[in-house]
Structure 1
Amino acid sequence: MTERQTAALNGGSPLLDLIEESRKECEQTQKELKEIQVLIQQSSAEVDKLVQRSSQITTKVHQMETNIDTYPRQDIKETYSAAKEAQTRLFMMRGQLEQLQSKQQNLEKYAEYLRKFLEVSEQIAYTGPSAEGGASVGEQTIVRIIEAQENERLHLSRQMHDGPAQSLTNLILQAEICERLFDVDPARARIELGNLKNAVNTTFQKTREFIFDLRPMMLDDLGLIPTLKRYVQDFEEKSGLSTNLTIMGRERRLPPHTEVTIFRVVQGLFKNISQHANATHVQVNVNLEGGDIGVSVEDDGSGFDVVDAMASVRQRKTLGIAAMQEQVGMLGGQINFESSLGRGTKVRLEIPAVG
């Protein structure tokens, strides 16, 4: 390591803190990959055993069918039952193996993204500070862009794995079970087919929700206010929380980047409320009067210590709040958090109408 690199490391800049956190995340990811590899090996071995077991039972079934009249009825029933059980266990284990392999692929991609991020950010950090004694605006922007991209990719990867990918794997498994059952137990197969139809419908609805969370098409087509109305209504139906949206001023379109930023902040706040706040009511106010756009989101939940939360933000431990601050700040706006333990939380943001 050069003298300049050593000096940079001793500087304790936010970039170097981020690099250190990324190194730890990279180590944790490699650890998870090793654990998954062990599980994949174990699952593969189990699949091989089940394939052999299923093959043996299938051979026995064929032999029995050739001389069906010579076998007692109970033996026939037990053999078919064993064949069905072996096939079901094999399908389930194959599904589990596919899920592990999918998770392994996602983690490998994430590890590669981390490696590239560390490579670029270390080049920036170890080049040395700018003439003013700190990182340049350009360097800070690069770091923010890379960090935002990697966080979003990780978020999407986990959402895809836990949502559509998981559901589709289950659908394939159910379809294979139905196919096998039609030859063995048609009545049971019809029941499973009905379950499969319900599962397809549920998966379709979840996929639509996933697409809406990624990028609501109506945000581009109709604008912020109609999208917020739809989102608040859906949130109330799914969470069971009493939710109210109040619009002050004439509804109008805002610059696209302003609409996206406001929607993402509100979306993030709602997710925090549903996961952590233990609230019963949420009030959202949007003020379109005047030169700035004002938005407030207030809940009656458990609240939190703002001082501790802001300290975590400065230490890059609370990326959700940090991301909101950066998104709003890039548009020349401000976001303020008012909260205390047991007294709920109120978040206010103001963004210039033209940015």
Structure 2
Amino acid sequence: MANYKFDASKMDGIIKKVVEAINGSKKEICEIADSARKEHRNLESELHHLKIETAELIKEVDEIEKELQISRKKLMAVNKNFEKYSQEELKQAYEKADNLRIELVIKREKEKYFVKRRNDLEVRIKEVLRTVQKADNLMAHVGVAMEYLCGDLINLGNQIEDIQQRHVWGIRIIKAQEDERQRVAREIHDGPAQSMSNVVLKAEICEKLIDVDVEKARLELQNLKRIVRDSLVDVRKIIYNLRPMSLDDLGLVPTLQRFTSTFQDENKIDIQFKSRGSISEIRSVISLTVFRIVQEALNNIRKHAKANSVVINIEFLEDKLRISIIDDGIGFDAENIKVRHDIDGGFGLFSMKERVELLDGEFSINSRLGSGTRLSIMIPLTQNKGDADEKN
């Protein structure tokens, strides 16, 4: 059992680091997407200008081809009637035709380069668009992951801590049940079991004396009757501690009146029990919860408070039950009360709080050192239909 605890704060730290890492990745993805969009705009602009230049170049090539055709016709005419032209005119005709052929070759090479560049730009633009789309998809997935992390999983540590606490309380409840069984077994062994042993012994003595000394046998029978009565008292007390039958027979208020009166006589603590209002029927789980709370509160006062007097007020409202338990004991610092998570720790105040909250009620403690303690409890009398009565 040494390793049953789990450090929930470590889980919170791990989740926070994951969130930070994802946020960092999200930032990098945003930078990649922005860079890709910027490159896409630049490539689109370059492609636009390239298309304009290509169109102008094609127009120039067409014009040069037309000029070249004219020049070739003129050159053919000059060659056919060269005697009509001077040497200079022949030279100019040849040079012009050569220059046009050279310029046409250069322009066509340039046109091929522009076409290749245009095709490369279009391919590059498609690749950049795919990069942008991938970045957008990644951003969407990261957004979903962040929603989960920042929504459901960010409180995973608290959930684990709650599960851990429930696990601890489950173990403590099992231990409490075993302790209660041990206590009942010890009470039966030390009380009724011993008494029954004495009854058997006294019965054997009476059996032997009945024919020898009737008077002595009568005295032994009187002792036997006293032992049986005391044993019956012990059995009833054990049954009462397990579950007061008077809760079902008489109701909550009479049961508490009887319990507080007995507690006052046994512990010499002045108890004022007051009740206001009434209700025709109260659910068994509420009656038993209120009885256990009063029982636990008085036991705590007897053990720790060093109080001389206690006031218990129970008020039946229209749909709620209000309870206050006030003592004049030494009190304690309520603000510094913390629930212990050790398995061997007792239930006490936290047990009362848990019982009340299971019934959708409210529980508060008001106490200061040297100023006594006040417990205030409010329990709704109307519960969900699915609630089952508490078994104890």
User: TM-score, normalising length from structure 1?
Assistant: 0.55
Can you give the 5+ residue segments of structure 1 that lack an aligned partner in the other structure? 14-128
How far, CA to CA, are the matches of 1:197 and 1:342 in structure 2?
Answer: 49
The one-character-per-residue Cα deviations of 1:170-196 (angstroms, maximum 9, x if unpaired) are 224434654369869968876665444
Q: Distance in 1 between matches of 2:377 and 2:361?
A: 7
CA distance in 1, matches of 2:272, 2:180: 28
**What is the number of equivalent residue pairs in this alignment?**
234
Aligned to 1:326: 354
The residue aligned with 1:229 is 257
CA distance in 1, matches of 2:216, 2:5: 66
User: Is the CA contact 2:165–2:341 (under 8 Å) kept in the aligned structure 1?
Assistant: no
1:11 aligns with 2:7: yes
1:9/1:265 CA distance change after superposition, 3 Å: closer
* Aligned partner (choices 142, 145, 165) of residue 189 of structure 2: 165
CA RMSD between the two structures = 3.6
Q: Deviations over 1:76-97 (max 9, x none)?
A: xxxxxxxxxxxxxxxxxxxxxx
How does 1:112-191 map onto structure 2 within 5 Å? 132-133=156-157, 134-135=159-160, 144-145=169-170, 147-161=172-186, 163-175=187-199, 177-178=201-202, 179=204
Structure 2, unmatched stretches of 5+, are: 10-152, 384-392
SS in 2 for 1:250: coil
SS at 1:202's partner residue?
A: helix
Q: Aligned pair in 2 of structure 1 residues 315, 137: CA closer, same or farther (>3 Å)?
A: closer
2:324 pairs with 1:296? yes
8 Å contact kept, 1:130–1:136: no
Q: Could you say which residue in structure 2 is the equivalent of 1:84?
A: none
8 Å contact from structure 2 (residues 312, 326) kept in 1: yes
CA distance in 1, matches of 2:287, 2:154: 35
Please tell me whether residue 201 in structure 1 is matched to residue 201 in structure 2: no
Q: Is the 8 A contact 1:247 1:287 kept in 2?
A: yes
Alignment partner of 1:269 is 2:293: no
Residues 241/140 of structure 1: CA separation in 2 closer, same or farther (3 Å cut): closer
| CA-to-aligned-CA distance 1:146-175 (integer Å, 9 cap, x gap) | 5424313312321331x2221234224434
What letter corresponds to residue 171 of structure 1 in structure 2? S
**Aligned counterpart, 1:105:** none
Query: What letter corresponds to residue 319 of structure 1 in structure 2?
Result: F
Q: Which amino acid aligns with 1:155?
A: E
What is residue 130 of structure 2 aligned with on the other side? none
Any idea what the Cα deviations from partners look like across 1:35-54, whole Å, max 9, x if unmatched?
xxxxxxxxxxxxxxxxxxxx
Distance between the aligned counterparts of 1:148 and 1:234, measured in 2? Answer: 28
**Which aligned pairs between 1:211-226 and structure 2 lie closer than 5 A?**
211-226=239-254
Return the offset for 1:200: 2.4
Task: Tell me the amino acid that sits aligned with residue 7 of structure 2.
Answer: G
Q: Retained in 2: the 8 A contact 1:292–1:350?
A: yes
Letter in 1 for 2:320: D
- Paired residues of 2:359 and 2:380 also in contact (CA < 8 A): yes
In structure 2, the partner of 1:88 is none
Instruction: Compute the displacement of 1:338 (Å).
Output: 2.2
2-structure distance, mates of 1:325, 1:313 = 14
**Residue 286 of structure 2 aligns with which residue?**
258
Deviation per residue, 1:249-286 (Å, 9 max, x gap): 33442232222211111111112223333322221101
2:274 matched to 1:249? no
Give the structure with higher Rg (CA). Answer: 2
Matched with 2:84 is: none
Counterpart in the other structure of 1:279: 307
1:345 — aligned with what? Answer: 373
1:40-55 mapped onto 2 (5 Å cutoff): none
Q: SS at the partner of 1:246?
A: strand
Match of 2:30? none
The C-alpha deviation readout for 1:12-54, integer Å capped at 9, x for no partner, is 69xxxxxxxxxxxxxxxxxxxxxxxxxxxxxxxxxxxxxxxxx
Q: Between the two proteins, what is the percent identity of the paired residues?
A: 28
Q: In 1, distance between residues paired with 2:205 and 2:253?
A: 50
3-state SS of paired residue (1:156):
helix
Q: Structure 1 residues 306, 139: closer, same or farther in 2, change over 3 A?
A: closer
